[in-house]
Structure 1
């Protein structure tokens, strides 16, 4: 099943290279991807999909398309186009860092180190966190850290490994620690965001941006935690991160409905009109594949996690993929971007497509993506 799904996905990716040209897919509306000129937080996922396809197949067409995206990210860095946010890791881990991992291209390595420095500039000494969005005095977003940032920290851990500069590691570890303290609740659910006083650094409280309510559990936020804390463990060996990932994974899996694919928020009222978020489930599947590598063979949760991971992946392929839709631009249906904001609440999400492809390739060939070397 995995090979068939991968082959189908790769055909769609190749067709999309012609459709998209030098633009980048974001989310879809009525089945068609909205495209932008490399100015959104999601653009690295398309680059990452191209590198995955090249690694899997050796087909030069994917390599050439992937290289062109990296050149676009180089221009984005040179012109500083919309880099005032924390998603620098999503952008450059899956583009220039991917090229470094695959090809050992020194120019790509240097570009990725530049990106790490851009992310470091978002560190707020007062409060000890990486600010998610906007400038320090942003009236709406100042003082805000979010759980998504855990998937941007591999960029800093990698920069430490490349340079030996401990500043990168210190900031990444501190952000992971603050995320454990302020974003993960006592019942192993999570806040999407947490807010600090910008002048004093005083912690003010948890909130949401895209979830149902401030006290709800946004499914994709929980998914970022599952994968992000596992990656923090891989880089540091700190078992607190591994334990946190396991607890968040158990919570996520316990909330799943009968088809093993998440609703968009675990606290939202459930009826026939409630949106799913297939992207959250495929992030968790990819995270569980990583998590299982680090769990002891005698861990009582191991078998259950593995079984539920396979059940979710099987459901994603059979019930949510576009395998039977040859003209579809996306790989995975029923993703949710921003339900409360009514932005693409039930369509293709490029990050959902990326993690779906990463998970499939990890399961079939052990190709692990580009969060670490």
Structure 2
């Protein structure tokens, strides 16, 4: 009996020690949890090799069909056109390889026309800031700056002061009336940047107003987000929330949640508005609470077919980049560790054999889902997954290097 009691006490003690050890890991930044440079060496080399094989610079990689090895292409007006040159800029930022730089410049140049064409959607930020924005950040090329400032002014033409947001889809007014989507949070960075770099100060006010209205109406009380918010364009009244790419209006579409995490983190960084930081935290915590064991979300958290539903690696990439940003913005050390370690766990899983494409095809990542309700881009490589994955890798590498210098 004494032996049994002793063994039981030992077992309890081991459990307590194990739990305390886990908690300690969760509240301390795990700098050495992932060999970022090893993965970046692989991804930048592949990016260089693939780009050298792409002949036409005004056709942009978007996705790869199942069973195929090579990218499918879209033209410059596709909302995804900026992601490929942007991913090349991240590859150049890490590798400092002049050949990669030449390829990034080659694919960036054709996107210039978007800045000087009448706005017909909100995606100008995705197209121009991901390409020209990263290019200007890394090169200081004044011609890039001119394009960025023009693009910001073009995007601002979609702003409605009565609603306080940028119209996302003019072509969808018949379906959603005046509409603003959660994705649009990502395009505000172009406006914030322009306001600080020679553009009108009104651009800052537009971006801030857009984030405030999105926070008030598109972020739900359950800390998930609507994909689409519908408004009365004359009074600004919020009419209702919809989905477009998610499972249902009130479901939690994975990529939409991560657009919110990233977008509100960025909005706080640019404005210092505490409410934006609080929103980023709430969206992040809700996302983390609902993740499956492997840390890569299903395309929609409420799809009744789970676990037999497709995953969305692109959402994991956006979440990783966004939460790394968030970890630098929160002041509490436990929260810093919480979001940093979470982001690293997503990057680590995306870098595993299950998600990293290797020799399978020309992309970096497998298993993204674009628009399941329209039966489009389901469980395939998609270019924006590669973009945000590369952003997260480069950001993580810089954070690790900065931390190692302080030791």
TM-score of the superposed pair, with normalisation by structure 1: 0.92
Q: Does 1:177 align with 2:215?
A: no
Quote the Cα distance in structure 2 between the aligned partners of 1:199 and 1:168: 21
Number of residue pairs matched by the alignment: 363
8 Å CA contact retained: 1:2, 1:363:
yes
Q: Does 1:69 align with 2:107?
A: yes
Residue of structure 1 in register with 2:253 after alignment: 218
Q: Does 1:313 align with 2:351?
A: no
Quote the Cα distance in structure 2 between the aligned partners of 1:361 and 1:103: 17
Residue of structure 1 in register with 2:86 after alignment: 48
Residue of structure 2 in register with 1:348 after alignment: 381
Q: For 2:191, which of 136, 142, 156 is the aligned residue?
A: 156
Secondary structure at 1:144 match in 2: strand
1:98-117 deviation digits (Å, cap 9, x = unpaired): 22211111111011001001
8 Å CA contact retained: 1:20, 1:35:
no
1:172-191 deviation digits (Å, cap 9, x = unpaired): 00000011001111121111
Residue of structure 1 in register with 2:398 after alignment: 365
Q: For 2:150, which of 101, 114, 130 is the aligned residue?
A: 114
Residue of structure 1 in register with 2:294 after alignment: 259
1:141-179 deviation digits (Å, cap 9, x = unpaired): 540100001110010001110126221011000000011
* Structure 1 stretches lacking a partner, 5+ long: 368-373
Aligned in 2, Cα 1:277/1:358: closer, same or farther, shift over 3 Å?
same
Q: For 1:245, which of 258, 263, 280 is the aligned residue?
A: 280
Once the two structures are TM-superposed, the CA of residue 230 in structure 1 deviates from its matched residue by 0.5
8 Å CA contact retained: 2:44, 2:95:
no
8 Å CA contact retained: 1:86, 1:122:
yes
1:310-360 deviation digits (Å, cap 9, x = unpaired): 22221111144335x325211111100001111011011111101111111
Residue of structure 1 in register with 2:29 after alignment: none
Choose between structure 1 and 2 for higher RCO, CA contacts under 8 A separated by at least 6 residues: 1
Quote the Cα distance in structure 2 between the aligned partners of 1:319 and 1:124: 46
8 Å CA contact retained: 1:132, 1:141:
no
Quote the Cα distance in structure 2 between the aligned partners of 1:333 and 1:339: 16
Q: Does 1:302 align with 2:302?
A: no
Residue of structure 1 in register with 2:41 after alignment: 7
8 Å CA contact retained: 1:133, 1:142:
no
**Structure exhibiting the larger radius of gyration computed from Cα positions:** 2
Residue of structure 2 in register with 1:371 after alignment: none
Secondary structure at 1:43 match in 2: coil
Aligned in 2, Cα 1:20/1:140: closer, same or farther, shift over 3 Å?
farther
8 Å CA contact retained: 1:131, 1:142:
no
8 Å CA contact retained: 1:322, 1:328:
no
Q: Does 1:16 align with 2:50?
A: yes
Aligned in 2, Cα 1:201/1:160: closer, same or farther, shift over 3 Å?
same
* Structure 2 stretches lacking a partner, 5+ long: 1-34, 401-407
Q: Greater helix share, 1 or 2? A: 2
Q: 1:129-148 counterparts in 2 under 5 A?
A: 129-134=165-170, 138-148=173-183
Once the two structures are TM-superposed, the CA of residue 37 in structure 1 deviates from its matched residue by 2.2
Aligned in 2, Cα 1:270/1:198: closer, same or farther, shift over 3 Å?
same
Quote the Cα distance in structure 1 between the aligned partners of 2:93 and 2:399: 11
Residue of structure 1 in register with 2:15 after alignment: none
